[in-house]
């Protein structure tokens, strides 16, 4: 009698910095020769970065992010969001809830009930 073994669904493959770099270059149509020239490094150095044989200096990572229209956190595997940093910050800014007159009235009621007084109030 055979038994069915259920396996959990595989999580998406985690990409290394080199793989992310290669993926972005392919997506953006950037050649290794062109990127290396813009970064003012040798093509073999860029290939060593992509293959993980060499650490990438911070100033080079920042320049790569700018050249490939992405953000440093994505290249360094801290984020899965490959959009430019400026776009991410703008989206976060737009999602902040503006303080309306009603919110201020609710806060003043809360202060009267012994709730701690806010130290700063931002008005949009």
CA 87 – CA 4 distance, rounded (Å) = 47
pLDDT in tens, 4-31: 545 444 445 689 999 999 999 999 999 9
Whether 104 and 75 map to the same domain: the answer is no
Whether 78 and 98 map to the same domain: the answer is no
Assigned token pair, 51: 């293959």
CA 119 – CA 88 distance, rounded (Å) = 27
Question: How confident is the model over 32-37, as a mean pLDDT?
Answer: 97
CA 1 – CA 6 distance, rounded (Å) = 16
- Structural domain including 49 reads 17-83
How many other CB atoms are found less than 10 A from the CB of residue 102?
8
pLDDT in tens, 45-96: 999 999 999 999 999 999 999 999 999 999 999 999 999 999 999 998 888 8
Q: Answer yes or no: is 11 within a domain.
A: no
Residue 97 predicted with pLDDT over 90: no
Crossing angle (nearest 10°) for helices 58-67 and 32-39? 120
Whether 65 and 26 map to the same domain: the answer is yes
Question: How confident is the model over 1-6, as a mean pLDDT?
Answer: 52
Domain count, the chain: 2
């Amino acid at each position: 009698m055979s038994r069915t073994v259920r396996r959990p669904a595989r999580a998406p493959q985690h990409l290394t910095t080199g793989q992310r770099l290669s993926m972005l270059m392919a997506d953006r149509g950037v050649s290794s020769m062109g990127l290396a020239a813009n970064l003012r490094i040798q093509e073999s150095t860029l290939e060593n970065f992509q293959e993980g044989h060499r650490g990438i200096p911070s100033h080079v990572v920042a320049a790569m992010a700018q050249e490939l229209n992405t953000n440093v956190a994505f290249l360094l595997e801290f984020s899965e969001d490959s959009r430019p940093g400026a776009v991410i910050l703008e989206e976060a800014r737009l999602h902040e809830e503006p303080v309306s007159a009603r919110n201020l009235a609710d806060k003043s009621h809360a202060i009267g009930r012994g709730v701690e007084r806010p130290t700063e109030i931002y008005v949009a």
